Chains A and B, each alone.
Chain A
Amino acid sequence: SSELIQVPAVSVALGQAVSITCQGDSLRSYDTSWYQQKPGQAPTLVIYNRNNRASGIPDRFSGSSSGNTASLAITGAQAEDEADYYCNSRDSSGYRVVFGGGTKLTVL
């Protein structure tokens, strides 16, 4: 399968922890990246190769993976973390890229 599944929406109280998941068969073979996209802006790389923070990303963001599920965790969510989050990986063939459908994070 070439599909990555994300829950459409998640909410978190300010300062609390939240996890966003991404499921897909290809995640058993390939690492995941995570992207943050705020309204009217291009996506920004947050996590690469499963659990590495991209340059300039606060350490409250972390990534992990187990089996066919990858997770993006935010500890101590801030108002500026409100955004759409997308996972991506290679598809099962290894020759193409696939994105998850995105998760809208609301910080209450």
Chain B
Amino acid sequence: EVYLVESGGVEVRPGGSLTLSCAASGFPFDRYTMHWVRQPPGKGLEWVSLIGRDGTQRFYSESVRGRFTISRDNRKNSVYLQMNGLTTADTALYYCAKEHRTGWPNLDTWGRGTLLTVLS
């Protein structure tokens, strides 16, 4: 069975940095583009970033571009999100998601999320 497990969410101060991790299992990880999607408490989904199969293709939302960096390690079946210059607007549940076999933006598997809280 396909699993995605996020980790690394904590409470940080504005201006701080943090790296989230997502461990994947149950599918050939290096054949799929991976995404990060976030959801502020009580609000809707916001796409954050994607990384292509070999890590060379990386795209970001305008709200995080220049502050966040997505990466992956196909040997460890993991994807990461390094976040710098955090603000209270970054407070959210961060989901890792896998693209569907037909490609993105179809996201067919999601983790349970990891909560980042940026305290003012």
Contact = CB atoms under 8 A, between A and B. Distances in A.
Interface string B53-64: 000000111000
Interface of A: 33, 35, 37, 42-45, 48-49, 52, 54-55, 84, 86, 88-90, 95-102
Q: List 3 A-B pairs, minimum CB-CB distance, nearest first.
A: A48-B106, A97-B47, A42-B110
B44 to A, nearest CB: 4
Contacts, number: 60
14 contacts: A33-B105, A45-B100, A45-B106, A48-B102, A48-B108, A49-B102, A54-B108, A88-B105, A89-B105, A96-B61, A97-B50, A99-B47, A102-B44, A102-B45
Main secondary structure of the interface of B (DSSP, over half): strand
Contacts of B44: 84, 86, 99-102
Chain B contact residues (Cβ within 8 angstroms of A): what range? 20 to 34
Task: Give the secondary structure class of A's interface.
Answer: strand
A23 B37 CA distance: 21
B111 interface: yes
B115 to A, nearest CB: 12
B27 interface: no
Contact of B100 (A48, A97, A99): A48
A42 B98 CA distance: 13
Nearest to A94: B59
A99 B45 CA distance: 6
Contacts of A99: 37, 44-47
A42 B45 contact: no
* Listed residue (B37, B45, B108, B113) with the most chain A CB atoms within 10 angstroms of its CB: B45
Given A99-B44, A99-B47, A49 B106 contact: yes
